């Protein structure tokens, strides 16, 4: 594995590659969820490139940019074990200049995640577009846990006619059901136990739907019952275009949950 720090290094190497390139963009603090993306990229491509870049433009004032977990040496070892070919680890000054061409996310970026984090998705799309321009991947791998982000990236690729195939990947969970997240380390033992209510409520909703329930409000009410003692930010039932729906549409519905545990904000979802 070769570690690259500059855009020029990566671009020069990319010019020599004529086979398929799989790309996994990350912010570091790699866990089994990231590893599943890297392994899938390894299975499906001749060359695998991973980026680790803690992108400042997607963090709002007061969010956890300064405290976001950083484990560069451990992340390097993980990438080596996963047989990554190139690890791109640029500095902020490498990725951004004083004056930037800005990316404007569409209106649906201001609902749900974007409602409490206005401008967050502008920053996400900006850095992903930059990385796509540098790496020029054949396939790029993203987890379904960040469902709204995934949908917006797919729309950007379509709207800007980018030659990259977006590969959505299933959520990876702990044995007890908790969705993997770099922010899970912020939870104390009691919060970690309470956080299981997210996946438990989603699995319960899936069971209700499998038994024929289609009323979105009834499902939301049942989810609320499971999480009644938690600080719920939102529960939403939407179609794949992120329009809220009153009736479950099988194969076209996502149920999303965000809960706060002190300063830690966890999200989870289930795709139906």
Q: Where are the domains of the chain?
A: 2-169, 182-267
What amino acid positions are annotated as catalytic residues?
A: 34
* Backbone torsions φ then ψ of 23, nearest 5 degrees: -125, 135
* pLDDT on residue 269: 97
- Residue 254 near residue 238, CB atoms below 8 Å: yes
Query: pLDDT tens digits, residue range 7-64?
Result: 999 999 999 999 999 999 999 999 999 999 999 999 999 999 999 999 999 998 878 7
Query: pLDDT tens digits, residue range 132-184?
Result: 999 999 999 999 999 999 999 999 999 999 999 999 999 999 999 999 998 89
Query: pLDDT tens digits, residue range 87-126?
Result: 999 999 999 998 898 899 999 999 999 998 899 999 999 9
Q: Average pLDDT, whole number, for the chain?
A: 95
67, pLDDT greater than 90: no
The answer regarding whether domain 2-169 maps to CATH 3.40.605.10 reads: no
Classify residue 120 as exposed, middle or buried by CB count within 10 Å of its CB (0-12, 13-18, 19+). buried
The answer regarding whether domain 182-267 maps to CATH 3.30.1300.10 reads: yes
Q: How far is CA 55 from CA 59, 94, 237, in A?
A: 8, 12, 29
Q: How far is CA 90 from CA 3, 126, 187, in A?
A: 10, 15, 29
């Amino acid at each position: 594995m070769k570690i690259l720090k500059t855009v020029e290094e990566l671009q020069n190497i990319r010019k020599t590659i004529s086979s398929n390139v799989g790309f996994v963009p990350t912010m570091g603090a790699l866990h089994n969820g990231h590893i599943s993306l890297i392994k899938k990229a390894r299975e499906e491509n001749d060359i695998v490139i991973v980026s680790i870049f803690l992108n400042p433009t997607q963090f709002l004032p007061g969010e956890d940019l300064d405290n976001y977990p950083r484990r560069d040496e451990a992340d390097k070892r993980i990438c080596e074990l996963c047989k990554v070919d190139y690890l791109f680890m640029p500095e902020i000054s490498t990725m951004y200049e004083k004056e930037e061409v800005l990316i404007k996310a569409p209106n649906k970026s201001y609902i749900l995640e974007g409602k409490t984090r206005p401008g967050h998705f502008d920053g996400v799309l900006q850095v992903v577009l930059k990385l796509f321009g540098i790496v020029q991947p054949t396939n790029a791998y993203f987890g379904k846990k960040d469902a709204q982000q995934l949908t917006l990236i797919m729309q950007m690729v379509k709207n800007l006619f980018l030659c990259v195939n977006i590969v959505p990947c299933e959520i990876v969970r702990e044995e007890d059901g908790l969705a993997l997240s770099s922010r899970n380390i912020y939870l104390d033992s009691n919060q970690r136990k309470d956080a299981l209510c997210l996946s438990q409520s989603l699995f319960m909703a899936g069971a209700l739907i499998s038994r024929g329930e289609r009323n979105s409000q009834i499902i939301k009410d049942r989810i609320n019952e499971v999480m009644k003692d938690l600080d719920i930010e939102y529960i939403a039932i939407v179609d794949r275009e992120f329009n809220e729906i009153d009736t479950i549409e099988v194969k076209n519905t996502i149920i999303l949950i965000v809960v706060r545990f002190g300063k830690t904000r966890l999200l989870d979802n289930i795709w139906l």
